[in-house]
Structures are given as C-alpha cells and as structure tokens.
Structure 1
Amino acid sequence: MFSITIPTLNNLKYLKLCLESLQKNSTYNHEIIVHVNIGSDGTLDFLKEKKIKYSFTNYNSGICKGVNTASKLATNEFLLYAHDDFYFCPKWDEILFSELKKIPSKKFYLSGTMLELSNTKNNFGDTIDNFHEKKLLDNYQNIKPEDFQGSTWAPHLIPKDLWNKVGGFSEEYYPGTGSDPDLNMKLWNEGVRIFKGLGASKVYHFGSIVTRKSKNKNIKTESGSKGGKIFLLKWKFSIKFFKKHYLRSGSKYDGPLTNPKKSFSYYKDFLISKLTYLYISIINLIFKYR
C-alpha cells in the first residue's frame, strides 16, 4: 500500500511503540523504511532482528536528509512521512486511502491529524512512560476535528513521483524546521492545489523528538529563527504569509485551493514580508563582508 518513511535518532522506545501501532492499527499492509541517525541505542539491531528495511547515517543527518535517503528505498506508489514518536490510531490508513481514491489527478498532499496535549481535552500522556494507550483507543473517536485546508504537517501522503520531481525535502533546513512548508511551496509551484488535512485519520504525537535532540539552539519554531529565515530568503516571503494567503492553513476544507485573493490584508502582509526579506538580506551582506 504505502511506503512509510520514519527518521529516528536514538529513540528506540518511541520507535518500537510507533511500529507496534502500525502493526496493530493499520487496515492495510505497508512498506516501512526507517532512517537511522547514529543508532547507538540498539535501533540497528532491533530493525535487523525484525527484518525492517532501513537506511543509515553514523551521524545526525536530520529529518530532511534522513527522509530523502529512506525514500530512495521505497517501492510503492505513495510515500507517507511519519515521526518516530507517533502512535497511529485505528483505520488511519483506510481513511487516507479512501480519500486519495476520490482525487482524479496525482497532484495532492494529504495528511492525517495529530492529537496532542495542546489541541485535545483528553490527556493520554506526554511521554511514553505515562502513555494511556487504552484510554486513547477508547476515546479517540470522540475527538472529531474537521477536515482542514493547508496542512503542512506529518503524517503526510503524496505520490512518490511527485515527491521525486520536487526533490523531496530541502536539506538546507537541517535538522528539519521549516522544511514542511518549503515542500508545500515546491508542490504549489508544480500545480498542486489540494492540501487537505483529514480530521478522521488520527495519530497521537508525543513531540518533535528528532528536532529537539539537535544541539543547535537557534532552532525554535517553524516560523521563527533559522527555518523561517531560510524560507524567507529562498521564496522572498514568510512562512506565515504563505500559510495564511496561499494555503489558508487551519481553515475548514472547502475544496481545492485557488490563487490568493489580493485583498488589503494580502498587500499589507506582503509588504511586511518584503521589508523583512530586505532587512535580513542586508544584514547577511554586512556580516558576509565584515
């Protein structure tokens, strides 16, 4: 069915739980490909024992290079990118597959919905040590988020040919912050207008473990600091502007996206983005030639 790529960094306990949830709660059989960063915690031995396909770097290559490397081993038509600290809820894949069958073209970006402590009234645990699996399985169907526009988050599903055409994740976003909207921008430029998050396809998410383990203290959030600056200098407007005016991220899904509406808000935010772009460009030049 899908080729599922999962980057991991010495995070074996979470990876085991993620893989167990895929085995227990998937409707279909999938190809799983783990990219192992370092793997000094026994991850490599575990994957070999379980005969799970993997790629490997003996250093922390980050999310982007890790997923790109793993995706080269994929043999299925559709790629799904997942974090190693996901717990997949029942029928997550059945819902995604049902949706993609409705789409006539091979230009789409679908995602599931992450359930986290910050966006659900139910506390199923914030670490693997206090995870309430039974409570989650008893209650996840009572959490009913709407389908939403402009998803930029994992678990995301796109055709492998489309992924290869845009070059996968851009590796300059090491270890990964900002690479998701950058991928969406590349897909937008290829004519993709379906960026749909499916509320019924759910995963429970403990947190961005791989990114958190990076020693780079400049990495904060998607829009802030390093990833946001890379995106701004590359595309000449901000992640916030792209998600608000192009993807309409977070709004209720109402069909394929169209080009941005050139409203007062659009031009105001566009001007702010351009001024920020010019400011950062000038600062970079000053430091370059000092």
Structure 2
Amino acid sequence: MIYKIHKVRLNFEPVFSILIPTWNNLDYLKCVVASIRKNSSYKHQILVHVNEGNDGTEDWILSQKDIGYTKSSENCGVCYGFNAVSHLAVSENLVLIDDDLYLCPNWDGFLLDEINNQTDEKWCISGTMLEPYDKKIPCIIPNKDFGRHPSEFDEEKFLSLYHTYPKNDWTGSQWYPLVLPTFVFRAIGGLSVEFFPGMYSDPDFMIKLWHYGVRYFKGVSASRAYHFGSISTTRVKRNDGRSNFILKWGMSSNTFFNNYLKIGTDFTGPSPIPQEGFLLQLKKRIDRWKVKFKNRAIDIGLFN
C-alpha cells in the first residue's frame, strides 16, 4: 500500500484541525468542505485522508491550495485514515468528521464555547446530527429528509429549519462532528486499526478514552450537522466489530454505552464510574458467553 503526504503551510493559526477520511466520495467531500468554509465562525485547518481516490479526489484537493492530505493507494479504512492525516494537525484540538456531512452555521462556535468552559484538560464533545431516516439512535434528530445526495440537497430549506427541531444536550459523545484535545487523541493511539475497515471503531475509541480518564462526554444540541448517510459503509465488507469489541474489552459496546456513558440520555455532567455490582458483572459475562458461543458455532460449521 503506497502512502503520500501533502502538507500545506497556513498563514493563520487554526482553531481546529479537521480530519476527514474519504473514499471515492468526491461529491460529498466537496459539499462538506463547502459547508466548513461557508458556515464556520473561525478559521480551521482542513485535512483529508484520500483512500484510493480514483474519482478525481486528489486533483480536486490540489486545486484548492489550502487542504493538506495523506493518501493510500488502496482503501485502508477510517482508522488508518484518521490516524495518518492526524500527523499533519497543528491545532490543539482535533475535529473528526465523515465526508458525508454538511456542517451548520456556527457549528464550531458552539463547540468552542463548550471547550472554553472546561475545567478538566481531558474531554470529548460532539455536535448533533440530523438524518433523513430513523435508526433509533437517541443522539440523532431523525426523519429530517432534505436530500440524500449533495445534488438533491435542499440547502435553503434546511438552513431555514435545522435549528427549529428541539433537542436537549445529551451525554455520551461518539457521533461526528467530534472534537477532543490533540494530545488525548495521540495519547490513546488514535483509532484502533484492528477494527478495519471501521465497524465498532467508534465504540472502541470511546472506551479507550474512558480508560485514559476522560469522563466528560457531551453532545451539544446547538452544534448541528446534516448526515446524508453512511455512503462508504455500503461498499465494504464489514468486519465483525461487535465480537472484536467483546473479546478486547470483556463486554459489549451496548453494555459500555448503557452502563458507563449512558449514551443518548440528557446531559447532567461528567459520567460517573458505575458500581461493579452483580447485574453489571452478569451482563459482561453474558456478552462474553455470546461471542464464545458464536465462535464455537462457526468452528463446528453451524453458520458462517
């Protein structure tokens, strides 16, 4: 796998270094970059990891003059992508986003206000996504369909309505856009590449932050983004991230989210350490038993 690095010298000090992995999604990449430029209240460093890029992505980035990037000759997944391009970051704070987002006006200002209120040096803060469908995720504002491709995106209507949908600040973070201190990202080793091409890498990232001592996980309602949809994930062979997570951490991601982060509930403050009572221990034991049963079933040929 061949890697390329392209640095861009900035004539300003960026507030955020924004990391964007992309895989032959040029229309979406153009849209998210345009939204950053149009709707940001501050100047940021834009950094892209180009997976393969046989759709003209690299040529377009070079034509922009102000976007740094790394490139792999094959699709190396989101974990390698985020990690590779993060080495070009110069800001004290990293923002992780997908290439299929549209960031709303002052998305960055709302996040920066939250950052400036921090008393701890370690934290993880997310914006809030609106999606055109309902995946039953409590952190997301569902059923807000303004188009599923940039070519059909009703930007004018969206900008007149996106802020009117009620949503409280929520706990748990994880969803993009996600901002955290650069030193924290590097201290935990970024995203774990064993989750290639990326399924369950986000829960793994969250539990690594937890073990590093992060307790402030907050989703900011006012900082909003439109999510067209998981475009790249429909084109890859999905890894068995659920089993990998359980084998690595001794519990399922649901057990972690529900008992440690309490993800999606109204935000009330830093996440407390849960008591390791009988029920929590039982949940972890059941999680481990399920993945062992599944692996054993595969070994004897019950299912693939």
- Report the TM-score when normalising by structure 2: 0.87
Moved more, 265-274 or 131-140: 265-274
1:83 aligns with 2:105: no
Verify the 8 A CA contact 1:236 1:277 in the aligned structure 2: no
Is residue 241 from structure 1 mapped to residue 260 from structure 2 by the alignment? no
Tell whether 2:221 aligns with 1:175.
no
How many residues in Structure 1 have an aligned counterpart in Structure 2? 279
Indicate conservation of the 8 Å contact 1:237/1:277, yes or no.
no
| 1:120-131 to 2 correspondences below 5 Å | 120-131=142-153
2:71 pairs, out of 51, 56, 70, with 56
1:138 has 2:152 as partner: no
Deviation of the 1:271 alpha carbon: 3.1
Quick one: structure 1 residues 158 and 268, their matched pair in 2 at CA, closer, same or farther if it must change by over 3 Å?
A: same
1:65 lines up with 2:80 in the alignment: yes
Q: CA deviation at 1:127?
A: 2.0
Contact 1:62 1:211 in 2 (8 A): no
CA contact (8 A) 2:148 2:228 kept: yes
For 2:193 and 2:276, how far apart are their aligned partners in 1? 32
Q: Does the CA contact (< 8 Å) of 2:250 and 2:284 recur in 1?
A: no
**Is contact 1:144-1:200 (8 Å) kept?**
no
- Structure 1 unaligned blocks of 5 or more: 220-224
What letter is aligned with 1:115? Answer: L
Give the letter aligned to residue 213 of structure 2.
G
**Fraction of identical pairs, as percent:** 41
Which of 141, 149, 162 in structure 1 is aligned with 2:171?
A: 149
Instruction: Give the Cα separation in 2 of the matches to 1:278 and 1:226.
Output: 13
Aligned counterpart for 1:165 among listed residues 169, 173, 187: 187
Q: Does 1:98 align with 2:94?
A: no
Instruction: After TM superposition, give the deviation of residue 209 of structure 1 in Å.
Output: 1.9
The Cα shift of 1:266 comes to 2.7
- Is residue 235 of structure 2 the alignment partner of residue 213 of structure 1? yes
- Cross-structure match for 1:15: 29
Residues 247 and 288, structure 2, Cα contact 8 Å, conserved in 1: no
SS in 2 for 1:104: coil
Q: CA deviation at 1:157?
A: 0.6
CA contact (8 A) 2:130 2:144 kept: no
**Counterpart position of 2:11:** none
Distance in 2 between the 1:280 and 1:168 partners?
29
Distance 2:293 2:118 in 1: 42
Return 5+ residue gaps in structure 2 as ranges.
1-14, 135-140
Residues 157-200 of structure 1, C-alpha deviations (whole Å, 9 max, x = no match): 11010100000000111111100110111110111101111111
Q: For the residues of structure 1 that align with 2:23 and 2:288, how far apart are their CA atoms?
A: 37
1:37 counterpart letter in structure 2: N
Kindly indicate whether residue 266 of structure 2 is the aligned counterpart of residue 252 of structure 1: yes
- TM-score when normalising by structure 1: 0.91
Task: Tell me the secondary structure at the aligned position of residue 80 of structure 1.
Answer: strand
Deviates more, 1:110-119 or 1:123-132: 123-132
Query: What is the aligned-residue RMSD (CA, Å)?
Result: 1.8
Deviations 1:23-44 (A, max 9, x none): 0000000000000011111111
